[in-house]
Amino acid sequence: MLFLSVAEHYMSASVQSTMVDSAGPEAQKFSLKEVLDTFKLCISENDEVFVEHYVAGWRGLVKFMNSLGNVFTFISKDAVSKIQILVNFLNGESGAHYVTIQSMVRYELDNGLVDLSKKGGSHPESGCRTLLRLHRALRWLELFLERLRTSTEDSKTSVMCADAYNESLSQHHPWLIRKAAGMAFCVLPGRPTFFEVMNVGNAEAVVAMLGDAVPMISKVYKITEELYAQNNLLEIP
């Protein structure tokens, strides 16, 4: 079903030409600087990661993706539902335990709130599991943005995106999702449009900002990766 609906979008003749023009006023407000600032706020003085800013960073990225057109909806919907799960924990009665990723891991593990194996557990959507999915996607983002940063005028965003995906997130996706993602990459706008949507200024300014953004995102990724590795959480089903 997913494959078919993506294929449908893909076949739609006008997708490419309306990609950015069709974006609503809300989507147009995306700015890479905002996302960068949010990820900067993520890390505390003692290297804890604030869930609130982590999800805010993802919200900004979703905004960017939505401004690229409907073909990316199946991707952004999944990201939005995962963001929402984490926001619900944060705003719920145990919210105080979800302030940082570190406190969330401690709380969920201490209280048996994570299904660590596939067999019919009672916590299929734990904070740890949900954040792991976004964390894996963050690695894709880190690789993609680094490719963008070092790209040249004639580099293809579709190729950079696919290479970053194949090197990271794809390893966690089944065949069907990989195919659908591959088709979505084919209709990504070119580098000039991409840079424009980032809302930073000319290409040099974008490259400079990416130079700030990538290490920041890498740091958030690294802290989370180490925490999950220490707690054997990297393979939560």
Which residues in 191-229 are b (16+ Cβ under 10 Å) and which e? beebbebbbbeeeeebeebbeebbebbbbbbebbeebbe
The answer to whether the beta carbons of residues 145 and 218 sit under 8 Å apart is no
187 neighbors 15 (Cβ within 8 angstroms): yes
Confirm or reject binding of residue 177 to ligand 1PX (CB under 6 A). yes
Smaller CB distance to ligand 1PX: residue 96 or 192?
Answer: 192
Does 33 help bind ligand 1PX (rule: CB under 6 A)?
Answer: no
In angstroms, the CA 127 to CA 110 distance is: 13
- Smallest separation (angstroms) from ligand 1PX to the CB of 64: 5
Nearer to ligand 1PX by Cβ, of 32 and 227: the residue is: 32
140 forms part of the interface with ligand 1PX (CB under 6 A): yes
Could you tell me how many residues make up the chain? 237
37-66: which residues touch ligand 1PX (CB under 6 A)?
Answer: 61, 64-65
214 touches ligand 1PX (CB under 6 A): no
The site for ligand 1PX (CB under 6 A) is made up of 32, 61, 64-65, 68, 72, 74-75, 78-79, 133, 136-137, 140, 161, 165, 169, 177, 181, 188, 198
